[in-house]
């Protein structure tokens, strides 16, 4: 990984656009022989959130991917629904809930993640992944599903 990889794409705020974002990232990273599994999952979650919760009729979302020679992959997904404010905590929902686990997954796969606002009405959710050191038990990661099971005695 001696070169910087950059990808920027504007995609429709539809489920098809979210799937295209994931496919673009997989193709770009696979071409450069960079591990892409974690990045693909993070992009899928952030893009799905953008088209589900950040969608504004007639406005697209933007995907930016940057891989620096230092092996940090930064993923940014921007939408134009800023008025929803900060993201919720990434804790797990009730066991019966059908959704709400995406940000917990992003948190588990990323070294760090967050949001940026601006210029109005832009909201960007970003995540950074260390592609040289994929998730492993040695990094101190604990499966949030296992934590939930232990906490609630299931």
| Beta pairing, strands 72-79 & 112-117 | unpaired
More confident residue, 120 or 109: 109
How many Å apart are CA 154 and CA 152, to the nearest integer?
6
Fold of domain 5-151: Heat Shock Protein 90 (3.30.565)
Contact present, 106 and 46 (Cβ < 8 Å): yes
Res 123 pLDDT > 50: yes
Model confidence pLDDT, tens digit, residues 59-104:
899 999 998 877 899 999 998 876 654 455 555 555 565 555 678 8
Q: DSSP assignment, residue 98? A: S
In this prediction, residue 18 carries a pLDDT of 94
Please report, for the chain, the start and end positions of each structural domain, with discontinuous segments joined by +. Answer: 5-151
Ramachandran region of residue 48, left (φ > 0), alpha (ψ -120 to 50) or beta? alpha
In this prediction, residue 35 carries a pLDDT of 87
Q: pTM for the complete prediction?
A: 0.74
| Token pair belonging to 46 | 């952030």
In this prediction, residue 44 carries a pLDDT of 95
């Amino acid at each position: 990984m001696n070169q910087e990889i950059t990808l920027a794409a504007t995609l429709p705020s539809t489920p098809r656009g979210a799937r295209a974002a994931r496919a673009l990232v997989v193709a770009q990273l696979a071409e450069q022989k960079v591990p892409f599994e974690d990045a693909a999952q993070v992009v899928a979650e952030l893009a799905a959130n953008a088209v589900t919760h950040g969608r504004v009729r007639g406005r697209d979302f933007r995907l930016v991917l940057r891989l620096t020679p230092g092996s940090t992959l930064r993923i940014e997904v921007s939408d134009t629904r800023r008025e929803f404010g900060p993201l919720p905590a990434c804790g797990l929902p009730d066991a019966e809930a059908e959704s709400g686990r995406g940000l917990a997954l992003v948190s588990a796969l990323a070294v760090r993640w967050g949001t940026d606002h601006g210029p109005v009405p832009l909201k960007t959710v970003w995540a950074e992944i260390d592609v040289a050191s994929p998730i492993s038990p040695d990094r101190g990661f604990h499966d949030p599903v296992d934590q939930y099971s232990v906490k609630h005695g299931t």
